[in-house]
Amino acid sequence: MGTSSVSIGKDLLLALLGACTLEAAIFTPEQDADIQSYIEKVLECRNIPGLSIAVVKGEKSWARGFGFEDLETRQPVENTTHFLPKRSYQLEQFAFQDNDTTNQVTVADLLTHQTGVSAAGDYGLIAGYPEGTNRNDLAWYVLQHIHRYILNF
């Protein structure tokens, strides 16, 4: 696997894919095409070499690979491609508004959407953000708009 690959936690990806009955219909064909088109635009816009994504809804799932696992060999990403976590995901300077939450939330909580924050603005649509937007910019955005979202605990 090339060093230019986008890294995703191997255990998280395996857990998502292991819980899936692959190819069960979650999306209509039109939605599927729209989602795939959007992801391809994000990859191109943000210079992301490749990613693997899974959506699970009850017993149904949707999983796809996009782009390349290795840019040199042009090995395509598949929905079963394993990625290794990057050391830079330590999030040492990331913080919530209160210290208790910051001290208790783990990287696994963030990656599995279990922080209690149901939404965090539109930063998931990062393809539209200006070049140079970083994690601190996004954290500031979340903290400024956190009052608009329902917290689930």
The 10s digit of each residue's pLDDT in 13-59 is 444 444 443 444 788 899 889 888 888 888 888 888 998 888 888 88
Residue 71 sits in the same domain as residue 95: no
Final residue in a domain of this structure, among 51, 76, 101: 76
Instruction: Determine phi and psi for 9, rounding to 5 degrees.
Output: -55, 120
| Type and span of the H or E element at 141 | helix 135-145
For 100, which DSSP code?
Answer: H
Report the chain's mean pLDDT, rounded to a whole number: 71
Asked whether residue 1 carries a pLDDT value surpassing 50, the answer given is no
Q: Where among 46, 76, 106 does a domain terminate?
A: 76
Q: What is the DSSP code string of 6-63?
A: PP--HHHHHHHHHT--TT--SS-HHHHHHHHHHHHHHHHHHT--EEEEEEEETTEEEE
Separation of alpha carbons 151 and 116, rounded Å: 5
Range of the domain at 144: 91-148
Say how many domains are in the chain.
2
